[in-house]
């Protein structure tokens, strides 16, 4: 019956318009206002749900309670990808990447840098270290989500100067700020015991020679000096990217950290929005705030 068909078609048009109008009115409030957005994310967290982000540079399961890396992936579609691409571009230009290069992610969190590195095509495989159990679960899931499970070895360990155990203090909102070096927040009360290994021992156990190491990416929230000491003879042989923050160290540790790098590397590149180009290694002394640095 034509009359009924026309009525149903009109009804469908009105329903679609109402849904579209409701979305246009509510989305800026529910998603654009932080307090409303956090109510939604907190509700997902309380129910134990994850969020799956399908992004141009990789697919990631994230914890909705993570207000830093997780939030950046949701709302900005990436996390420090530019810094990694700058570093890899410099290594490729300097012909420092072997054909079977291995990427090492020290403090891998949920695997953003490992995924980005593998997607550049410059690395044949990777090893990712992440000691926090929830992050490690997401790291493993994200390797599978990006079809990298056969190319990336994930290890539920922290890295340090010696084999053993350590207390990892957990940040309640920033899942990339968990720290062995101290409590990362005033209101954080949770912690977990984690195994610690030396990076040189771990790579030796995996039969990965220094000649295959294309880049070691170190982001370990204040434990960078311990990771560096756990590199042993690899220091100076392998390019490093380090998230360097002088205020995370004691003055004596900072001086020793810089001295070790100065003794083994000749140049430093400051990565980020205003990359520096090659600087003499003594430029480390002028860094006062948190900076990603490439050492060659």
CA distance 29 to 45: 20
Predicted confidence at residue 269, as pLDDT, reads 98
Q: Are 222 and 257 in contact (CB under 8 A)?
A: no
The predicted pLDDT at position 14 comes to: 75
For the chain (296 residues), the mean pLDDT of every run of 10, in chain order, is: 73 77 66 71 86 96 95 92 96 95 98 98 98 98 97 98 97 94 90 98 98 98 96 97 95 96 98 92 96 97
- Three-state SS sequence of the chain: CHHHHHHHHHHHHHHHHHHHHHHHHHHHHHCCCHHHHHHHHHHHHHCCCCEEEEECCEEEEECCCCCCHHHHHHHHCCCCHHHHHHHHHHHHHCCCCCCCCEEEEECCCCCHHHHHHHHCCCCCEEEEECCCHHHHHHHHHHHHHCCCCCCEEEECCEECCCCEEEEEECCCCCCCCCECCCCCCCCCCCEEEEEEECHHHHHHHCCCCHHHEEEEEECCCCCHHHHHHCCHHHCCCCCEEEEECHHHCCHHHHHHHHHHHHHHCCEEEECCCCCCCEEEHHHHHHCCCCEEEEEC
Residue 38 has a pLDDT of: 79
pLDDT value of residue 26: 58
Which sequence spans correspond to the domains of the chain?
Answer: 1-30, 79-295
pLDDT of res. 36: 67
- Say what the pLDDT of residue 106 is: 98
| pLDDT value of position 130 | 98
**In degrees rounded to 5, what are phi and psi of residue 44?**
-65, -40
pLDDT at 178: 96
Q: Which whole-number Å values give the CA distances from 122 to 63, 91, 95, 243, in the listed order?
A: 29, 10, 11, 22
For the chain, the C-alpha Rg in angstroms (whole number) is: 23
CATH domain 79-295 topology: Rossmann fold (3.40.50)
The predicted pLDDT at position 22 comes to 67
């Amino acid at each position: 019956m034509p009359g009924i068909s026309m009525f149903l078609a009109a009804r469908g048009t009105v329903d679609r318009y109402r849904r579209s109008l409701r979305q246009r009115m509510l989305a800026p409030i529910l998603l654009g206002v932080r307090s409303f957005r956090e109510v939604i994310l907190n509700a997902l967290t309380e129910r134990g749900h994850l969020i799956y982000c399908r992004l141009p540079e990789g697919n990631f399961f994230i914890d909705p309670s993570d207000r830093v890396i997780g939030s950046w992936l949701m709302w900005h579609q990436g996390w420090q990808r530019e810094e990694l691409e700058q570093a890899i571009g410099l290594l490729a230009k300097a012909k420092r990447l072997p054909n079977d290069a291995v990427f090492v992610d020290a403090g891998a969190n949920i695997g953003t840098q490992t995924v980005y590195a593998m997607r550049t095509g410059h690395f044949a495989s990777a090893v990712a270290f992440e000691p926090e159990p929830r992050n490690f679960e997401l790291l493993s899931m994200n390797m599978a989500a990006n079809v990298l499970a056969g190319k990336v070895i994930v290890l539920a360990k922290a890295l340090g100067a010696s084999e053993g155990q350590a207390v990892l203090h957990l940040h309640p909102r920033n899942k990339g700020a968990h720290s062995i070096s101290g409590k990362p927040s005033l209101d954080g009360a949770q912690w977990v015991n984690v195994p610690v290994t030396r990076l040189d021992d771990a790579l030796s156990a995996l039969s990965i020679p220094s000649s295959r190491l294309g880049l070691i990416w170190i982001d370990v929230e204040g434990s960078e000096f311990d990771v560096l000491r756990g590199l042993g003879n690899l220091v100076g042989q392998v390019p490093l990217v380090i998230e360097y923050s002088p205020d995370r160290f004691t003055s004596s540790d900072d001086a020793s950290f810089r001295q070790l790098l100065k003794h083994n590397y000749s140049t430093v590149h400051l990565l980020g929005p205003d990359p520096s180009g090659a600087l003499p290694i003594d430029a480390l002394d002028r860094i006062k705030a948190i900076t990603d640095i490439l050492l060659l």
